[in-house]
Amino acid sequence: MKRFFVPLSLLALLLSGCVQNLVRSPQFEMREAGLLRFNPPGLNGIAPEAVIRVTLDARNPNPFDLNLEELRVDLLLDGAKIAASNINGLAMKANGVLSTFYADIEVPITPTSLQSLAKIIGGSSVQYRLDGGFRVDAGVLGKPRFGPVTLAQGRYQSPGLGSLPPSFAWRGDLTRLTFGAGGAVLDLGFEVTNPSPIGYRLVAPINLLIGGEVLAKAEAGGVVPAKGKGIISTRFQLDPLAAGRAVIGGRFDFQVSGTPLLEVPGIQSYSFPLSVFFGGSATR
């Protein structure tokens, strides 16, 4: 029978709980940080939320693989702690092989966090810091803990609302032309797609154009979530005499223009003129 021997020095370390001395700490570096999604309070029907995504590069300097069992991080903006999160399950190869992972940190909506988020949305830069403590699984060498340490820090500045404007699409299934005692009524529906990580209320004084001429005006509005879509409906009261044969014939082509306002309640608003939102056709 073969016998296996454990060196006395290693046995002493194992028995004394000093195995951490045999495991070098992984090194972390921030690759990217940014606002993933923010729906502010005040958007009817949409729950307030804020999520910041951080991307970290990790290197394991040890000659053996490690498993990151737990990484607890605290996110600070301008020196104030606004969120905490737990990250786990990252496998790190030996000898400094790069591992990249991201974490979505949910930020509680508080006066302090809203103050920092308002600066980000307004285009100002903020100082961020990511502090953390972590535990690794080193196999027979145990599960040593490291930290707390500062994992990353720097400045972050988000693109403003104006850099990611919404797009508009006419919804024919939500559009109808009817006639009544007061004249012709056009119920018009359209879809708003928001590519921005910031949700807002859309307020849009809009014009209905036929043949390049403004035939009627109306107010349209609704809420559009971060990186989501919203359905907006409005109603135009039409004068059949002004519309001429287009309306009387029961079908006409139109365009919609205006100056939509994107309003982040209590924080910021941004408006931009559009000569044409979209075009479509209406039938009785």
Per-residue model confidence as pLDDT tens digits over 163-173: 788 999 999 99
pLDDT of 240: 66
- Residues 37 and 90 occupy one common structural domain: yes
Q: 123 near 157, Cβ under 8 Å?
A: yes
- Among 40-49, 66-75, 176-185, the range scoring the smallest mean pLDDT is 176-185
- Residues 147 and 168 occupy one common structural domain: no
Which residues touch 210 (CB under 8 Å, ≥6 apart)? 243, 246, 252, 253, 254, 255
Name the domain boundary from 158, 175, 209: 158
Quick one: average pLDDT of 121-128? 86
What is the number of domains present in the chain? 2
Quick one: average pLDDT of 172-187? 83
Choose among 161, 156, 192: nearest CA to 264.
Answer: 161
pLDDT of 101: 86
Measure the CA–CA gap between 13 and 213, rounded to whole angstroms: 86
pLDDT of 242: 62
Q: How far is CA 271 from the centre of its chain?
A: 20
Residue 78 scores a pLDDT above 60: yes
Name the domain boundary from 158, 187, 219: 158
pTM of the predicted protein model: 0.82
Domain that holds residue 130: 8-158
Quick one: average pLDDT of 144-163? 84
Percentage of the residues of the chain whose pLDDT score is greater than 90: 47
CATH number at residue 196: 2.60.40.1470
Q: Is residue 1 part of a domain?
A: no
- Among 46-55, 104-113, 114-123, the range scoring the smallest mean pLDDT is 114-123
Name the domain boundary from 134, 158, 182: 158
Measure the CA–CA gap between 220 and 204, rounded to whole angstroms: 5
